[in-house]
Amino acid sequence: MPDTLRMQLSRPLAAIRDARAAPAGAMAGPVAQAVSVVAELRDLASMLDAGLLTREEFDQMKACLLGS
């Protein structure tokens, strides 16, 4: 059983190891894009909390960011 589990996890663990070893600015395209979307959502939430956006505006912008 441990060998089977080790084989199943080898690829994901290698990806994690490689990501940790990569320079900070060298994130892969999809990962960098996901991080960017999260940062933009965080900014939108801050603007909503500060009263700079209405809930409707926030929901529209969030849907646009998420591709919904």
User: Could you tell me which residues come within 8 angstroms of residue 53 by beta carbon, excluding any fewer than 6 positions away?
Assistant: 44, 47, 61
Please tell me the pTM assigned to this model.
Answer: 0.52
pLDDT in tens, 17-65: 776 776 655 555 666 677 688 888 898 899 999 998 899 998 998 988 8
pLDDT at site 17? 76
Q: What b-and-e string marks burial along 14-32, b requiring 16 or more CB atoms within 10 Å of the CB?
A: eeeeeeeeeeeeeeeeeee
What 3-state DSSP class applies to 4? helix
Report which of 35, 37, 24 is spatially closest to residue 64, judged by C-alpha positions: 37
